[in-house]
Amino acid sequence: MTRWSAMELPAAGRPLQQVWRERLPRPGAGQVRIAVSCCGVCRTDLHIVDGELRHPGHPVVPGHEIVGRITALGRGVDGLACGDRVGVPWLGWTCGRCSECRAGRENLCPRARFTGWQIAGGYAEQCIADARYVFKLPARYSDAEAAPLLCAGFIGWRAYAMALALAQDVRRIGLYGFGAAAHLIAQVAAQRGQQVFAFTRAGDAAAQALARQLGVRWAGGSDEAPPAPLDAAILFAPVGALVPAALAVLRPAGVVVCAGIHMSDIPSFPYALLWRERRIVSVANLTRADGDEFMRVAAELPLVVHHVSYPLADAERALADLRAGRFAGAAVLQVQPPTSVAT
């Protein structure tokens, strides 16, 4: 049977529609076809659906935390075979020739194409990916557990690594917005001996409870002050007002890393909050090197991936629950029933 379905966004602000296709997609040169098992639901998907990121002008199949198995190889694919379990992240293609690509900053390539935006993503039973951008997955994670590693994990890792490199001697790190990314990076930081401070929406008891369960030192609302100044803060919540809030609890020469692709406007604030060499930086996308590094970390450290599953056809409900903050951890679309998937 080759009939398969996908959840498609016809235009920004419209509901996703389930569409059916009669033929399996054929991988071109250098590409693989993947039978999708699971796909994570990321806040970036919401920004696309809500029109905060430009709609590419054609129907979009969202989803860039794809886990599945290769079922066909295009010409010239090396190092991958049919049956391999792989993951597909947000970065789907780069030019390889521009000054950013040549300098190791492929995350900033102006011609980059992204999975689930310009390239059809994983809210679907089948997808095509460029073989050079897919990842093998650590065996210790099930398909549903592996999916959130591919963006929440990768972007979280890039933000965390940047915070450590810029602030130096980081012992106390704050995470604003305790969702899919923060719940993974909190475990990485705690297992590496740092004290983690989790800031949630005011009164979000479920997220605060999850944070404490995962080893954070302190959990509270983003309107609360932590018990000690922070060396670094990472903002996963898309709320510009958190920038001055985080600066206000940062030690001198500390850094605020904004990890989201979109954020509401940052309100004006007194220069004294930035004075004494505090910094505000952003993290954009990921490089394949970030992904390789994080997969090595995730293979070594036993990360708990707290996830809530939805059937593919309920993608709209998953997005609505993410928008409203109705679950803790990560949302994952279960595209194929786990029992039908060979390991």
Which of 180, 233 has the CB closer to Zn ion? 180
Interaction between residue 42 and Zn ion (CB under 5 A): yes
Q: What's the closest the beta carbon of residue 108 comes to Zn ion, in angstroms?
A: 8
Tell me phi and psi for residue 322, to 5 degrees. Answer: -65, -45
Which of 229, 325 has the CB closer to Zn ion? 325
Q: What is the size of the binding site for Zn ion (CB under 5 A)?
A: 8
Task: Please enumerate in sequence order all residues whose Cβ is within 8 A of that of 274, keeping only pairs 6 or more positions apart, or say none.
Answer: 247, 280
Which of 253, 284 has the CB closer to Zn ion? 284
Q: What's the closest the beta carbon of residue 46 comes to Zn ion, in angstroms?
A: 10
Q: What's the closest the beta carbon of residue 282 comes to Zn ion, in angstroms?
A: 15
Is residue 70 within 8 Å of 341, Cβ to Cβ?
Answer: no
3 state SS of 202 = coil
Return the half-sphere exposure (C-beta side, CA atoms, 13 A cut-off) of residue 74: 15
Query: Which pair of tokens denotes residue 103?
Result: 């300098």
Rounded Cα gap, residues 222 and 175, in angstroms:
10
Binding mask 254-283 for Zn ion (x = CB under 5 A): ------------------------------
Q: What's the closest the beta carbon of residue 234 comes to Zn ion, in angstroms?
A: 15
Which of residues 44, 187, 195, 222 is near Zn ion by CB under 5 A?
44
Detail the DSSP E strand segments found in the chain. 4-8, 17-21, 31-41, 66-73, 85-88, 91-93, 113-114, 126-130, 135-136, 172-176, 195-200, 218-221, 230-235, 250-258, 279-282, 307-311, 330-334
Q: What's the closest the beta carbon of residue 150 comes to Zn ion, in angstroms?
A: 8
Rounded Cα gap, residues 140 and 134, in angstroms:
18
Which of 182, 230 has the CB closer to Zn ion? 182
Q: Candidates 51-59, 143-151, 242-250, 312-320: pick the segment binding Zn ion (CB under 5 A).
A: 143-151
Interaction between residue 206 and Zn ion (CB under 5 A): no
Is residue 102 within 8 Å of 109, Cβ to Cβ?
Answer: no
For the segment 73-132, give every residue that binds Zn ion (CB under 5 A).
94-95, 98, 101, 109
Q: Minimal CA–CA distance to 25: which of 61, 78, 54, 63?
A: 61
Rounded Cα gap, residues 147 and 68, in angstroms:
9
Q: What's the closest the beta carbon of residue 199 comes to Zn ion, in angstroms?
A: 20
Which of 89, 254 has the CB closer to Zn ion? 89
Tell me phi and psi for residue 85, to 5 degrees. Answer: -85, 125
Q: What's the closest the beta carbon of residue 3 comes to Zn ion, in angstroms?
A: 29
Q: Minimal CA–CA distance to 149: which of 38, 47, 239, 62?
A: 38
Interaction between residue 53 and Zn ion (CB under 5 A): no
For the segment 148-177, give every residue that binds Zn ion (CB under 5 A).
151
Q: Candidates 29-37, 39-47, 248-256, 332-340: pick the segment binding Zn ion (CB under 5 A).
A: 39-47
Q: What's the closest the beta carbon of residue 98 comes to Zn ion, in angstroms?
A: 3
Residues that bind Zn ion (CB under 5 A): 42, 44, 94-95, 98, 101, 109, 151
